[in-house]
Structure 1
Amino acid sequence: MAERTLRGARLGGQSFEDERGIEFAARQQVGYRCPQGHVFEITMSVEADVPAIWECPRCGAEGLSTDGIEKVVKAEKPARTHWDMLLERRSEKELEDILKERLELLRGGEIGPAHLHRATKKRKATA
């Protein structure tokens, strides 16, 4: 019988706790306006860092703060490429020497795809 008393009570979706005696955190209303002209407010904690931009709940565009909060522009570092990382380890002179060495090995048939060089090397050795 006890099982039937809770049926349809939206267990997990609704709290049966009373709000008496609970002190809520201090809150503030922050206003935003999107380019479409939609004005909306977001409730935030007083301690929160208020962002200058918030997504509009109606159209999804970026809404700017109506309180005059300026957007912080972060200095972006340029993307570090593979070439930049390679130059941190070796000089261009060293890289040129390595390239010459590898090209000689490739042309001599010591490295590279087996079907291109190694088969001809074996034929020369047997001939």
Structure 2
Amino acid sequence: MPGDNVVRGTRIGSAPERFDQRYEPAPRRPVTYWCGNAHEVQFLIAADAEAPQAWDCPRCGQPAGPDPGNPPGRPRSEPYKSHLAYVQERRTPEQGEALLAEALAALRRRRGA
């Protein structure tokens, strides 16, 4: 064995033993949120920070809000859209026909027809 020193790399007495002896934590305040399943979520934020409008519940994953009587609802998931659906949102049918005609003309030129 290279050495029997269990406390390798440390110097005894070089720093305070506890973190609270080194600094004083920033002032904090508790914030409480409730989700749709009546789970209470409580955490600490900085005293001068603005609390977010919603927070994810760590127990069920639903959004939680600051009002226990009116928690936010489940987020609506957007339905799956194909590539064609996104293209159809951006272009009118006339623009699509013009692009198709242009692409076919370029293809015919390359093939020499």
TM-score (norm 1): 0.45
Which has the greater radius of gyration?
1
TM-score (norm 2): 0.50
